[in-house]
Chain A
Amino acid sequence: MFRKYRKDISGWLIMLPGIILFSFYIWEPLLASIVMSFYSAKGIRLERFVGLQNYIAVLNHPDFKSAFSNTFSYTFWSLIIGFLVPIILAIILNEIIHFKGFFRISIYLPNVIPGLAVTIMWLFIYRAGRTGLLNIILGNFGFPPQAWLTKSHLVIPLIVLFMTWRSAGATTLIYLAGLQGIDQELYEAATIDGANIWARLKYITLPQIYNLARTLLILQIIFVFQVLYEPLVLTNGGPNNASISLMLLVYKYAFEKFDYPKAVSVSVIIALVLIILTGLYNKLVKENEM
């Protein structure tokens, strides 16, 4: 019996530190928060089992509906504004012959700056009145100054624009690596067959990075669905809840009201939505493949 597993022992031993760390730092807190969402608590000390009461309270809270629909709106806009940008950048970078290193670094640079610093920088860009950077630039063309982040229909796209600026660089590098893995002989053969640049793009480049793009798409959805500090710093969810997100709701429950059971209830809801979305997405992609 034991002998059967003996050859696996060294493998398990190698994994052991990882498993311990995972279970202690990731799985245990995850499970603990799921448990907590069914309890009432003082601080983080559980008091008594309350069943679904936290979930009911959270779902009935006036802010939940806006937060829920806004979070989808963030995801939607991030796909409209943000999804194609890294792909296009990567293709351009791949075609550039001179100063390649310079452009690569430039594109990646926003990722190096601490998140909060970048957010505050963008606060100055979007600032209302004549001292905002965007207003100064537009003012040169004769546009009157605007209070950008106060426009409830514009605020989410503006925040997404900033998020794209900030994180497109990292994704671009991944695409670039994918592009550089394409066999050059394919292009040479296509060129000999008389394919122009668009045909090469359509028949070689895009199919080659299709799988990569598919993975990054779902990663982007998961990432954007948890948007927190951008609206927290830029607008604090305003104006009139136009930019509040589910994670911001979690933050408010946990760090403004010290109501941890409700905070984890919203987190569990976020996780459930993401699991459903991922499942749906994988199903769709599979159907398309057939």
Chain B
Amino acid sequence: MFKKLFLLLLLTTLFFLVSSNILVAQQKIVLRLGMWPEPTLKGDVEMFERWKKEFEKKYPNVQVVPATYKYSPDTFVPLAESGNLPTIFETWFTEPQKLIAGGFVKDITNELRKKGWDKLMNPSVKNILSKDGRIYGVPRDAYALGMYLNLDLFQKAGLMNPDGTPNYPRTWSELAKFAKIIKDKTGKAGLCLLAKDNAGGWHFTQIAWNFGAKLEVQRDGKWYANLNSKEVISAMNFVRDLKWKYNVLTDDPTSEDWGSGFEAIATGRSAMYLGAQDAVNQPTQVYGLPLDKLAIVPVPAGPKGHYSLMGGTPYMFSAKASSEEIMAALNFLEIMGKAPVVTPESLAGMKADAENRIRNGVPVIPSFPAWIEPNWLKAQEDIVNRYRNVNMALYNDYYNWIKKRGVLRPEEPHLTQDMYAELTKVLQAVLTNKNADIVKLLDTANKNLQSLLDTYINKK
């Protein structure tokens, strides 16, 4: 009798333990937050801690787990395949199609529709994040290429206006002249041109567009490489002149990449550099350039156009995440002020971000809107105005320019990274060999890209 009672007691306890566990497990949604800052960025971590606390108060059924992850192609696949990818993480605008094709990221169309955000996304951004009508990510922000200036060097070269704004080049031919003046007067490079990795082709695309180039064209439903048009040839000739006629580039452009370019601007190794507003913490916070020594201006116009290449940083979601986890992640974006909604929390999030920038010596300047929700845009603008820590005269031309119709241009649509790789090869040949045969090199690049387009795009 006693034995039976004991057994019953044991079984009931066991049952309660198991069921309560299941209940807890069902209740607590775990949100693994991949964009959690690295421990060395103390200010950023504190900001995220505050957001976490606030979030968990508002959504007590969600547990936020910091999972610092910086997207990098060489670690991504093992992490994704082993199911260890954070629920939400940042990547680059060149990656989404690759990640979607590999089945590494979650289709979040339904969740976005529930929130109503699918209609608020900047259409060209939405395009980058979608495949076959389904959406796989949300933008953190977008970027539009402009030109970074080191005002110290402009000052030394006598290129400052009396009102404290720089007298900067408006066209590429002016750029060559200005760069020459800077080189002659300061001994430093006028322009930091990239030619190490695909970023070389990326920046060159920006130049070539302004010379009137269209690098990929569609005819009769097929895609054709157009890397050897006369516009591209003249853009490449211009680059050759920068190196061999004017000699205004840094010592070895083939060793310059995205990061070293910002280092060059910050340390005064170069006076000008193509860069976008989203990387403004690079020269300032990372390399310590004082705020009053930095300006961002429009990219010089070419003979046949004046475009700004746009791209950006999206948030994407682990393919293994459940719908609830996706919703939790989207809710967290609201708290951060990165979602297209104006709530007290999102306003506080934007403020916290601005205050954090001020503490770290990063310019508080408008971000490039990846959402088109008017109230949210207005709220963002108000906060930037309130926390302004730079002279906007050093940035106004850039912002006014990218607001003009037809200036922004998304990257070429197909095998973009392969196209950049081909262009980088030509750049490297031109920048290292005075007598490189530009037409022949571009013919080869064109043939190479065409064979890739035929293999991967036109076949389908």
Which of B74-82, B158-166, B374-382 participates in binding chain A?
B74-82
- Is B60 close to A, CB under 8 A? no
| Distance from A60 Cβ to chain B, minimum over Cβ atoms (Å) | 7
| Distance from B83 Cβ to chain A, minimum over Cβ atoms (Å) | 12
Which of B146-154, B387-395, B403-411, B423-431 participates in binding chain A?
B423-431
Complex Cα gap A150–B253 (Å): 9
The proximity string for B residues 182-211 relative to A, scoring 1 for CB distances below 8 Å and 0 otherwise, is 000000000000011100000000000000
Complex Cα gap A254–B298 (Å): 37
Contact B76 A258 (CB under 8 A): yes
Q: When A44-B77, A255-B74, A258-B102 are in contact, do A240 and B255 touch as well, CB less than 8 Å?
A: no
Complex Cα gap A152–B254 (Å): 12
Which residue of B103, B104, B428, B448 is within 8 Å of A238 (Cβ)?
B428
Which residue of A43, A57, A60, A128 is within 8 Å of B81 (Cβ)?
A43
| Distance from A191 Cβ to chain B, minimum over Cβ atoms (Å) | 54
Among A42, A61, A149, A258, the most chain B Cβ lie within 10 Å of the Cβ of A258
Contact A238 B254 (CB under 8 A): yes
**How big is chain B's contact interface, by range?**
35 or more
Contact B451 A62 (CB under 8 A): yes
Tally the A-B contacts, defined by beta carbons under 8 Å.
91
Contact B429 A240 (CB under 8 A): yes
- Is B417 close to A, CB under 8 A? yes
Q: Say whether chain A's binding surface is mostly helix, strand, loop, or mixed.
A: loop
**CB-nearest residue of chain A to B425:** A240
Contact B432 A151 (CB under 8 A): yes
| Distance from A131 Cβ to chain B, minimum over Cβ atoms (Å) | 8
B residues within 8 A CB of A260? 77
- Is B21 close to A, CB under 8 A? no
**CB-nearest residue of chain A to B424:** A238
| Distance from B341 Cβ to chain A, minimum over Cβ atoms (Å) | 34
| Distance from B71 Cβ to chain A, minimum over Cβ atoms (Å) | 12
Q: Say whether chain B's binding surface is mostly helix, strand, loop, or mixed.
A: helix
Complex Cα gap A127–B269 (Å): 14
Contact A258 B73 (CB under 8 A): yes
Contact B73 A256 (CB under 8 A): yes
Complex Cα gap A151–B429 (Å): 9
The proximity string for B residues 78-108 relative to A, scoring 1 for CB distances below 8 Å and 0 otherwise, is 0011000000000000000011011110000
Q: When A60-B455, A238-B428 are in contact, do A150 and B77 touch as well, CB less than 8 Å?
A: no
A residues within 8 A CB of B417? 256-257
Contact A147 B432 (CB under 8 A): yes
Complex Cα gap A290–B424 (Å): 52
Q: When A42-B103, A236-B196 are in contact, do A150 and B254 touch as well, CB less than 8 Å?
A: yes
A residues within 8 A CB of B20? none
B residues within 8 A CB of A127? 251-252, 255
Please list the residues of chain A having a beta carbon within 8 angstroms of any beta carbon in chain B. Answer: 42-45, 57, 60-62, 123, 127-131, 145, 147, 149-152, 235-236, 238-241, 254-258, 260
27 contacts between A and B (CB under 8 A): A42-B102, A43-B77, A43-B80, A43-B81, A43-B102, A43-B103, A44-B81, A45-B103, A60-B455, A128-B252, A130-B251, A131-B251, A147-B252, A147-B254, A150-B428, A150-B432, A152-B432, A238-B196, A238-B424, A238-B428, A240-B426, A240-B428, A255-B74, A258-B73, A258-B76, A258-B98, A260-B77
Given contacts A43-B77, A150-B428, A239-B254, 17 further A-B contacts (CB under 8 A): A43-B102, A43-B104, A45-B81, A127-B251, A128-B251, A128-B252, A130-B251, A145-B251, A236-B196, A236-B197, A238-B195, A240-B425, A254-B77, A255-B73, A255-B77, A257-B417, A258-B99
